[in-house]
């Protein structure tokens, strides 16, 4: 955002609760990991956030919510500041910084804020309270055109695509009904009982709209993503092709919590091998944390000791057998008539066989081409040696079936930890 004018706004916050896999030639083995739990949704109450300002200056106060029927003690929201930027095109960008505290007495797995349009309360077609939107002079104006935005410098304020939430999930008192649910919402990490998490909500008001006060209505939910572990999101075995001198693997965190890879390892085996993953084809991952929605790029074996582009987050040059090579470790097969198997483990010491997928050390597993083991069935073989095995939905899917979750793609595009995060449903 290019700023003509900055202002630190003291917010007017109105936060009120309403009452509310693998396939083999022998017996079919189990999948590498137990099936991930389905995404779940639990309503935590209905709230309202009101922000007001006057140019670069503002004052605010906390007032009761008109929809309130009884207090809910499960969540407490505290605004710590609101920042406004007037952009070059005349639009204004607001960032509201909040502290969210869990006072429910139990952990909340994935706190989420999902805006709602309520009949007789919000302005039709928006998620903002009717009559609460005014211009700088205090005269009523429309909330039309106000959009929810991504706060790019905040790890825990990603806009995620809302699925599995309907009007029936909102408890609205007084006979009102939810007429629409936003296609996007904000989500934060797991909140332990008594814990507080900072988050930021973003809004953009177009240049054609003179709104300086507005009130967002939203439901608070425990909205758990469908996948609860790291996944192998891309696998490129074709070093020397597509402009890449080395093989590489991309990991992705589809959950709403940071995951440390300290002690994790990547292990590779040929398509037909049934022996234990050899330490000569295995590397330990460094002590690092992958934040929610972030990718993690690992450069592997090839012909160059130079870091690839984009820069890898890890470039292990020593395998678990202790052998060192400046050009990296693990050379995967890019054969269009063969294949291979790559496993992500949560340990660098356990070495189960490719068929022993019930071992708790497995985190994710991709068998491709003619692999004798995979999650349910292998991903199709590469069409050319320049292809990449790519997980669908930006890495957000894992049904424990490689043949549908991971497919060959002719457009390898590695993503690292600096890539814009992706929030999963």
Write down the pLDDT at residue 265: 96
Write down the pLDDT at residue 155: 53
Instruction: Answer for the pair 86, 92: CB distance below 8 angstroms, yes or no.
Output: yes
What's the CATH number where 255 sits? 2.60.40
Write down the pLDDT at residue 173: 62
Q: Is residue 32 part of a domain?
A: no
Write down the pLDDT at residue 175: 61
Q: How many CB atoms lie within 10 A of CB 288?
A: 14
My answer on whether 245 and 210 are in the same domain is: no
My answer on whether 238 and 159 are in the same domain is: no
Write down the pLDDT at residue 372: 94
Residue entry with tokens 């008192």: 173
Q: Is residue 416 part of a domain?
A: no
Write down the pLDDT at residue 9: 34
Residue 375's alpha-carbon distances to 20, 44, 100, in angstroms, are: 42, 36, 38
Q: Is residue 59 part of a domain?
A: yes
Last residue in a domain, options 182, 198, 224 = 224
Q: Is residue 28 part of a domain?
A: no
Q: What is the mean pLDDT of each run of 10 residues along the chain (425 residues)?
A: 32 37 32 47 79 57 41 70 87 85 86 87 90 88 90 64 79 72 86 90 89 86 87 98 98 93 96 92 97 95 98 98 98 97 91 75 95 95 98 95 97 95 84
My answer on whether 126 and 260 are in the same domain is: no
Q: How far is CA 372 from the centre of its chain?
A: 32
My answer on whether 262 and 401 are in the same domain is: yes
Q: Is residue 337 part of a domain?
A: yes
My answer on whether 332 and 394 are in the same domain is: yes
My answer on whether 79 and 169 are in the same domain is: yes
My answer on whether 151 and 218 are in the same domain is: yes
My answer on whether 216 and 325 are in the same domain is: no
My answer on whether 79 and 194 are in the same domain is: yes
My answer on whether 44 and 109 are in the same domain is: yes
My answer on whether 392 and 249 are in the same domain is: yes
Last residue in a domain, options 224, 244, 263 = 224
Residue entry with tokens 């710590």: 80
Q: How many CB atoms lie within 10 A of CB 332?
A: 25
Instruction: Answer for the pair 208, 145: CB distance below 8 angstroms, yes or no.
Output: yes
My answer on whether 271 and 311 are in the same domain is: yes
Q: Is residue 368 part of a domain?
A: yes
The C-alpha atoms of residue 378 and residue 370 are separated, in whole angstroms, by: 7
Write down the pLDDT at residue 172: 67
Q: Is residue 414 part of a domain?
A: no
Number of domains observed in the structure of the chain? 2
Q: Give the residue numbers spanning the domain of 353.
A: 231-409
DSSP letter, residue 121: T
The C-alpha atoms of residue 48 and residue 70 are separated, in whole angstroms, by: 14
Compute the Cα dihedral for 295, 425, 104, 99 and give only its sign. Answer: positive
Q: Is residue 66 part of a domain?
A: yes
């Amino acid at each position: 955002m290019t700023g003509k004018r900055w202002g630190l706004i003291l917010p007017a916050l109105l936060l009120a609760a309403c009452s509310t896999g693998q396939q083999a030639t022998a017996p079919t083995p189990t999948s590498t990991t137990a099936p991930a739990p389905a995404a779940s949704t639990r309503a935590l109450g209905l709230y309202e956030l009101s922000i007001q300002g006057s140019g670069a200056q503002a004052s605010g106060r906390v007032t009761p919510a008109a929809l309130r029927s009884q207090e809910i003690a499960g969540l407490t929201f505290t605004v710590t500041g609101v920042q406004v930027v007037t952009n070059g095109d005349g639009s204004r960008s607001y960032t509201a910084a909040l502290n969210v505290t869990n006072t429910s007495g139990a952990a909340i797995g994935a706190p989420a804020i999902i805006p709602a349009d309520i009949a007789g309360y919000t302005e039709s077609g928006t998620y903002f309270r009717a009559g609460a939107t005014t211009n700088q002079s205090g005269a009523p104006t429309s909330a039309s055109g106000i959009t929810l935005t991504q706060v790019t410098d905040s790890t825990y304020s990603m806009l995620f695509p809302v699925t599995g939430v309907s009007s029936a999930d909102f408890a609205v008192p007084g006979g009102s009904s939810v007429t629409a649910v936003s296609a996007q919402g904000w989500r934060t990490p797991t909140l332990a009982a008594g814990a507080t998490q900072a988050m930021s909500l973003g809004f953009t008001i177009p240049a054609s709209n003179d709104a300086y006060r507005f009130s967002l209505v939203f439901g608070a939910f425990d909205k758990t993503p469908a996948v609860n572990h790291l996944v192998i999101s891309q696998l490129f075995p074709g070093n020397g092709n597509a402009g890449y001198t080395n093989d590489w693997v991309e990991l992705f965190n589809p959950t709403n919590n940071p995951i440390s890879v300290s002690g994790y390892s990547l292990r590779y085996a040929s398509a037909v091998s049934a022996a234990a993953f050899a330490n000569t084809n295995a590397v330990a991952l460094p002590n690092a944390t992958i934040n929610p929605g972030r990718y993690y790029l690992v450069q592997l074996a090839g012909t160059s000791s130079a870091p690839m582009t984009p820069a890898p987050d890890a470039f292990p040059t020593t395998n678990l057998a202790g052998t060192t090579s400046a050009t990296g470790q693990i050379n995967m097969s890019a054969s269009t008539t063969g294949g291979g198997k790559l496993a992500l483990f949560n340990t660098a010491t356990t070495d189960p066989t490719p068929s022993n997928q019930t071992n708790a050390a497995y985190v994710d597993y991709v068998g491709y081409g003619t692999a004798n083991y995979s999650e349910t069935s292998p991903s199709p073989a590469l069409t050319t040696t320049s292809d990449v095995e790519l997980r669908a939905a930006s890495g957000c899917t894992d049904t424990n079936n490689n043949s549908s979750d991971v497919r060959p793609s002719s457009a390898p595009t590695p993503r690292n930890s600096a890539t814009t995060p992706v929030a999963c449903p």
